[in-house]
């Protein structure tokens, strides 16, 4: 695994809100990730998320909605699959996120497998952090290509620098590709940047960066594994997102999100604070 981050990559990330890293995984590591994610997704069946070992049927099952035809989404696989847990809770990845974001440390927010089926719909422009239970300009996600991601099968697209203009207003992913532009009309004139990746490459993007993905116009699958990271010390904003009812009840707005069972510290510059 190539986990070294250069100053040039940090600068590019800070300026553009994203960076693509080729040759992140070796061919052998890629097969390990594919096998682990495939096994974990199969084990979930139609369940998108298991909350503390129970299934929240109301919020987290496939229901045949438009959203389910964008991609197969399975969250927090690390919590119920040991192989995925070993991969996601790797302090080397946490260090990469910490260095790019220029923070002191990172907790895992949630992982998610994002799998575009053959002929899957496009993923509309959106930004991530407004959906989560904390707000931070330094929230960051890794996106790992498990298959070649191309302009034909649903690679990512970014609006470079948009993370410096967006707010925490939540614009849901919808059927209209450009719904986000109603909130940010200046984005209409921006040039999008395609980010095709070979299998085994990865990208990091800021939680406030506008991004999307094209439709899968092929008969093949486009698999990706992602993980969102929460800067150490982040506080609860009142949004439930992937938290259980019990966890939400235990937090007041402004409380530090510090439950290591839900959000382990995957890396910190003070090694004594790492909990994985």
pLDDT number for residue 176? 81
Ordered by where they begin, the domains of the chain are 7-273 (2.60.120.620)
Residues 61, 46: contact at Cβ < 8 Å? yes
Decide: pTM greater than 0.85. yes
pLDDT number for residue 173? 87
pLDDT number for residue 266? 99
Residues 82, 36: contact at Cβ < 8 Å? no
pLDDT number for residue 17? 99
pLDDT number for residue 69? 61
Question: How crowded is the C-beta side of 265, counted as CA atoms within 13 Å?
Answer: 18
Give the C-alpha distances (Å, rounded to integers) separating 53 from 50, 75, 143, 234, 262. 6, 13, 25, 25, 12
Give me the residues of the chain with pLDDT under 70, please.
52-69
pLDDT number for residue 63? 60
Residues 207, 127: contact at Cβ < 8 Å? yes
> Which contacts qualify for 52-59: CB closer than 8 Å, 24 or more apart?
52/244, 52/246, 52/247, 53/80, 54/244, 56/244
pLDDT number for residue 59? 60
């Amino acid at each position: 695994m190539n986990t070294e981050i250069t100053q040039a990559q940090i600068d590019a990330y800070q300026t553009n809100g994203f960076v693509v890293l080729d040759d992140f995984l070796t061919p052998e590591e890629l097969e390990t990730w594919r096998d682990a994610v495939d096994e974990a997704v199969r084990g979930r069946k139609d369940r998108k998320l298991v909350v503390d070992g129970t299934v929240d049927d109301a919020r987290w099952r496939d229901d045949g909605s438009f959203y389910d035809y964008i991609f197969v989404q399975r969250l927090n696989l690390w919590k119920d699959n040991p192989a995925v847990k070993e991969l996601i809770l790797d302090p080397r990845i946490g260090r990469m996120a910490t260095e790019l974001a220029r923070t002191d440390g990172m907790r895992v927010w949630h992982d998610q497998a994002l799998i575009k089926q053959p002929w899957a719909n496009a993923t509309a422009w959106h930004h991530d952090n407004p959906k989560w239970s904390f707000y931070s300009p330094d929230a960051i996600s890794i996106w790992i290509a498990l298959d070649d991601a191309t302009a034909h099968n649903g690679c990512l697209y970014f609006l470079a620098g948009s993370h410096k203009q967006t707010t925490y207003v939540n614009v849901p992913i919808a059927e209209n590709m450009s719904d986000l532009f109603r909130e940010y009309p200046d984005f209409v004139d921006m040039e999008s940047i395609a980010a095709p990746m070979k299998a085994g490459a990865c990208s990091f993007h800021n939680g406030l960066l506008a991004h999307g993905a094209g439709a899968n116009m092929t008969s093949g699958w486009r698999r990706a594994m992602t993980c969102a990271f929460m800067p150490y010390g982040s506080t609860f904003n009142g949004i439930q997102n992937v938290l259980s009812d019990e966890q939400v009840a235990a937090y007041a707005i402004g409380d530090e999100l510090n439950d290591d069972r839900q959000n382990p510290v995957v890396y910190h510059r003070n090694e004594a604070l790492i909990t994985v």
